Structure 1
């Protein structure tokens, strides 16, 4: 898990850092290394599958993979067809980043920038205004670094949430007792 970020002049609870940086393609080379390689490959070759997997882990509901993967694929293909690059799917997928950041109390890009440079403190004193600025930064992150943003989100979710289709990595067997049996003479 990420190291806690110290509380600052903005008030509120201290926020955690993301488990890996946005450009950390292969994660932290820890026990999730094979998962991180998979995330990197999916983000490069099939971002629609990675996005669908991220939403499925976040929502943990039936049908969320298809309901998010298919519209993403359509926007991805339409953007590539009309404009020559994936410029439409980031508009669709950036709310997932905001949801991950809020659920796990992760530091946003604007907050990190403000902490690093020491400026803009007056802009984010109000919690509602800060959250609005963070949502804009989430959109900018997806728009400017889309595959990397999807991969960072995928790495974060894989470290925090087991895949809903695998029952936390454990197999479940249901044993049924045998039906009532009798022993008879005439066989």
Structure 2
């Protein structure tokens, strides 16, 4: 907030106009409305500050970074932590490091990733498809289906992934007679 006095607009009027009660009340209406606008303008520098912006803005900033949405049921501190972590790891999206950081944030615990990845010279890549196995003890506050949706959204499309929660394979889901469901 600035050091602007509450009667800043009235102070700009000529002295003769201040003696008229009707005129003072009339101008006060505009002063109150303009004060609200000025307060919003005063707060603009803080709107993009993750630590002080309103929770609704935290969720909007998450969408700007490509996050489909931060759950409104999370406490404000958790929403801010999710946004801060996502912003810090965005450059690592699609890598083991980025996936590990993101899943640790949501699961609340360690994530173990085993993968076949690597960078190969042209023509030297293995014939086998790329794969990754992700293991967590818990899905944190997310349901297994929401956690799985998060994982499948973050893992590159060409990578075959297996997700294990508390030692149980939750993806791929086994269909009848051991066939893989997609």
User: As a proportion of its length, which structure holds more helix?
Assistant: 1
Identify which of structures 1 and 2 has the higher relative contact order when contacts are C-alpha pairs closer than 8 Å and 6+ apart. Answer: 1
User: As a proportion of its length, which structure holds more strand?
Assistant: 2
> TM-score, normalization: structure 2?
0.23
**Which protein is bigger by CA-based radius of gyration?**
2
> TM-score, normalization: structure 1?
0.22
